[in-house]
Structure 1
Amino acid sequence: MRMRIGYDGGCRFTAACRSHELIIDQPTDNGGSDEGMTPPELMAASLAGCVAFYVARYCTQAGIDTTGLEVGCDWTVAEDAPRRIGVFTVEVDLPSVPENRRKAVERVANQCLVHATLMHPPVIDVVLK
């Protein structure tokens, strides 16, 4: 898989993958135009979106009603160095999950690809061309 990030000027970038594009920017109080989410916001969206996908897929296969399914994600910046996100809190709101399926839904939510990647960090090679 290949992601390309093009610099648009100022604090704005365009991310492109497959046939999709999205804007990455900074809020106005950080020098941007606030035309898109920041990288940490996109990271939280990736985690919450991945959890949501895994939960929805499991529920669909298990015959559990997904009406009202929402996933929220909060994060805090760590107080120690290096500067990074220190804690993600992911909340899955699934109003009609049967009590006897709660543990299974929690297990599935904790097995999504993004969650697993954050729990077992990959090697990251940055190469300047």
Structure 2
Amino acid sequence: MSSAQITAITELDRSKYKTKVFANGHLIYADEPAELGGTDEGMQPGALLLASLGSCTAITIRMYADRKEFPLEAIKVDLAICKEDQMSKETTITRKIEFTGALTHEQRERLMQIADKCPIHKLLSNPIRILTS
């Protein structure tokens, strides 16, 4: 992750729940499924959170593997978050990481350790305070 401050802007008009998300010149949409009143034209916010963790995990692993010249062909990160009614003082995210390539057992173990070094993993593993104005 860059050392620059990360910012995002979200805008929601009268288009049900379809939300525009702008960051660094990029645009994506967040939405809710039709059964919740949305238009299902974008990922649910929880999926965006998981996508952030998954992509950061994969990028961090890829950077390390490339630097160490590991024969890593591909990375798959499968994520799930507990249901909202199961969230109390602790939210559980499950993350399963699969590697493709002729990696040794030691290389696989090291890449699993590196996965926890991803900045989004670190961010989500610590208490978070949100200041709203």
TM-score normalised by length of structure 2: 0.86
Q: How does 1:31-42 map to 2 (within 5 A)?
A: 31-42=37-48
Deviations 1:81-106 (A, max 9, x none): 65x98211111111223112122111
Per the alignment, residue 53 of structure 1 pairs with 59
Per the alignment, residue 125 of structure 1 pairs with 131
Q: Aligned match of 2:10 in 5, 10, 14? A: 5
Per the alignment, residue 90 of structure 1 pairs with 95
RMSD of aligned Cα (Å): 1.8
CA distance in 2, matches of 1:123, 1:38: 22
Counterpart amino acid of 1:18?
N
Q: How does 1:101-116 map to 2 (within 5 A)?
A: 101-116=107-122
Per the alignment, residue 62 of structure 1 pairs with 68
SS at match of 2:91: strand
SS at match of 1:95: strand
Deviations 1:50-99 (A, max 9, x none): 110111111111111232321111221254565x9821111111122311
Q: Any conservation in 2 of the 1:77–1:85 contact (CA below 8 Å)?
A: no
Q: Any conservation in 2 of the 1:72–1:91 contact (CA below 8 Å)?
A: yes
Counterpart amino acid of 1:68?
A
Structure 2, unmatched stretches of 5+, are: 1-5
Q: 4+ residue runs of structure 1 moved beyond 6 angstroms?
A: none
Percent identity reads 21
CA distance in 2, matches of 1:34, 1:81: 24
CA distance in 1, matches of 2:73, 2:65: 10
- Equivalent pairs, count: 126
Structure 1, unmatched stretches of 5+, are: none
TM-score normalised by length of structure 1: 0.88
